[in-house]
Amino acid sequence: MTAATYWRALDRFRDIVTAHPDREAVIYAAGRTATGLPAYQQLTYTELDDWSNAIAENLTAAGVTPGMRTIVLVRPGPELYAVLYGLFKIGSVPVIIDPGMGLFKMMRCLQAADAEAFVGVPEAQAVRIFFRAYFRRVRVAVTVGRGFWRGPTLDSWGRKPTAPLPVREPAPDSDPLLIAYTTGSTGPAKAVVLTHGNLSAMIDQVDAAREHVAPGTSLITAPVAGILELLLGSRCVLPPLIPSEVGATDPAQVVDAVRRFEVKTMFASPAVLIPLLRHIEQNSVALPTLESIYSGGAPVPDWCIAGLREVLPEQARVYSGYGATEALPMATIESRELLGDLVERAHRGEGVCVGKPALRVRARIVAITDDPLPTWLDVDERAEELAVSRWIGELVVTGPNVSTRYLWPEAANAIGKIADGETVWHRTGDLARIDDAGRIWFCGRKSQRVETADGPMFTVQVEQVFNVVPGVARTALVGVGERGAQRPVLCVELEAGADQQVVEIGLHKRQAEFEVTGKVTEFLFHHRFPVDIRHNAKIGREKLAVWATRQLNS
């Protein structure tokens, strides 16, 4: 019989419930006020504890056991946190995925998860029923919302347990806690196994990043941030947003939430921060309570960081985070360190400085190769190749928050992990270098490097040089042709109202100033770059390469 377990970090949650039972845990948008702004409701820590206990009780009665994988397709909101905490309390393993990756790609990923339980909104349940062959092992299905078929719903279970939960033992740190799929924006989506120890380490890293200061009220636009913040005692504010269109979030509603609830900390992608900055500048809005911003998903443009520093209180901190589903966070850097010589160096083509490795994370650089590197001996055999690439190589990391394996596809473990005795290094797929101060300089994705006849070119290095040209919103370097003989082409997205001819003159002038940009053969103007589904910030260079090829061949 499987031992009854729970996630040890929930002890923090119980301490908060005991000490602050009436503190708001989740403050969420629900409808609109007469003025058109969002109306908010709230869930206290006690209510969230009771609700997740009721879910845990009913899932257990339905046959959900420790270690059983449970697909969770629930929109960001109080229901999501209640379901996740309920699963964590009984040792079941939630499987999280972005529906925005497309139906059939998502179906293949969920089939590979081999789950036996399914918690989802009615639309998700309809997909499960219609494509039942993909979910043959599912024997427990719970609908979040009003279902149109027989079966339990979250509402039917109520929000209070009928009895105390049975005593459980904390699971070992090595046990799986969560299965999270990568977006598949720069390659096939992979099922990442995050253990009890991985998520516990993330809590410690978030706590350390804010210098162990009580979080107060946090605005959340990424669910994983909410999971961690609740375990630190935060009041989590969830503004209205569409998960697959985070960039469409109304900045006026973000400002309203920050001001209404006196938000101290904000977690957001550049796709949220850029419109927010513009809104603040255009409307002369003050956000006096905001003390820190943490951004991730893609590098935040330095002009955006500088702009936020101008409009926020002087003591406020703006952190640019760097991480991945497999390793969150890997590094962070604060605006005061970044804005200065580091930005100037980025504009000269050195890449983007993402800061020093996060707490207890170790980082190294290995030679650029698409081949597996099973052991560190294989890494050492290629060490001399780093000199050829100017000490730029693939970044690999290890640490307590870093996932050591994929659930699916199994082949991803061979290509994505390196064994070093008892230590497992994760290959990030990112190209970078580490300077003498131990800071990581991000140079671009390995899969997006441009292989010319004269050697490789790295996307972010080149783009940072051109992004400062007036009228340029952003740029993307892509390769056209066969690898090893690719033409480096720069795709350019203009700012609204910019004169294309004037911008093109500026691009040519800028190109002539730097060796790293000299090989670019063409400038192509694109009306709007494709971006990733999760953060709406990572540029889809693979799609742009196809577009550029058509443009040059037409």
Q: pLDDT of 435-445, one tens digit each? A: 999 999 999 99
Look at residue 246 in the predicted model and tell me its pLDDT. Answer: 72
DSSP state of 182: -
Section 544-553 average pLDDT: 96
Helix (H, G, I), strand (E, B) or coil at 460: helix
Q: Which residues contact 302 (CB under 8 A, 6 or more apart)?
A: 338, 339, 343, 346
User: Which amino acid is it at 34?
Assistant: A
> Token match 């890494």: residue?
379
Look at residue 151 in the predicted model and tell me its pLDDT. Answer: 87
Question: If pLDDT is split at 50, 70 and 90, which confidence band does 455 have?
Answer: very high
Helices (H) and strands (E) in the chain, counts: 18, 28
Look at residue 299 in the predicted model and tell me its pLDDT. Answer: 79
Whether 535 has a pLDDT exceeding 60, the answer reads: no
Look at residue 243 in the predicted model and tell me its pLDDT. Answer: 67
Look at residue 185 in the predicted model and tell me its pLDDT. Answer: 66
Question: If pLDDT is split at 50, 70 and 90, which confidence band does 532 have?
Answer: confident
Whether 190 has a pLDDT exceeding 80, the answer reads: yes
Give per-residue pLDDT as tens, 295-329.
Answer: 987 778 899 999 999 999 999 999 999 999 999 99
Look at residue 289 in the predicted model and tell me its pLDDT. Answer: 97
Question: If pLDDT is split at 50, 70 and 90, which confidence band does 537 have?
Answer: low
Neighbours of 208 (CB within 10 A): 12
Gap between the Cα atoms of 167 and 287, Å rounded: 45
Give per-residue pLDDT as tens, 235-252.
Answer: 999 999 876 677 778 999
Q: What is the DSSP string of 324-371?
A: ETTEEEEEEEEHHHHTTHHHHHIIIII-EEEEEEPTT-EEEEE---SS
Q: Please list the alpha-helical segments (H only) found in 91-212.
A: 103-113, 122-130, 196-209
Section 3-23 average pLDDT: 95
Q: Between β-strands 352-357 and 440-445, what pairing exists: parallel, antiparallel or unpaired?
A: antiparallel
Whether 538 has a pLDDT exceeding 70, the answer reads: yes
Question: If pLDDT is split at 50, 70 and 90, which confidence band does 167 have?
Answer: very high
Q: Which residues contact 244 (CB under 8 A, 6 or more apart)?
A: 98, 99, 100, 533
Average pLDDT score over the chain: 94
Gap between the Cα atoms of 541 and 62, Å rounded: 46
Question: Can you say whether residue 471 is alpha, beta or left, with left for phi > 0 and alpha for psi between -120 and 50 degrees?
Answer: left
Whether 21 has a pLDDT exceeding 90, the answer reads: yes
Give per-residue pLDDT as tens, 464-523.
Answer: 999 999 999 999 999 999 999 999 999 999 999 999 999 999 999 999 999 999 999 999
Look at residue 536 in the predicted model and tell me its pLDDT. Answer: 59
Section 112-129 average pLDDT: 95
Q: Which residues contact 207 (CB under 8 A, 6 or more apart)?
A: 232
Gap between the Cα atoms of 237 and 40, Å rounded: 9
Q: Which residues contact 274 (CB under 8 A, 6 or more apart)?
A: 301, 304
Q: Which of 168, 153, 196, 199 is nearest to 54 (CA)?
A: 153
Look at residue 184 in the predicted model and tell me its pLDDT. Answer: 74
pTM score: 0.93
Ranges 76-80, 446-450, 460-464, 550-554: which has the least confidence: 550-554
Whether 186 has a pLDDT exceeding 70, the answer reads: no
Please state the φ and ψ torsions of residue 261, each to the nearest 5 degrees. Answer: -105, 10
Residue 277 near residue 301, CB atoms below 8 Å: no
Question: If pLDDT is split at 50, 70 and 90, which confidence band does 287 have?
Answer: very high
Section 225-233 average pLDDT: 95
Specify which residues 440 forms β-bridges with: 355, 434
DSSP state of 5: E
Domains of the chain: 45-171 (3.40.50.980), 198-445 (3.40.50.12780), 450-553 (3.30.300.30)
Question: Can you say whether residue 284 is alpha, beta or left, with left for phi > 0 and alpha for psi between -120 and 50 degrees?
Answer: left
> Token match 């693979």: residue?
542
Whether 223 has a pLDDT exceeding 80, the answer reads: yes
| Tally of residues, the chain | 554
Pairwise pLDDT comparison (418 vs 215), residue with the higher score: 418
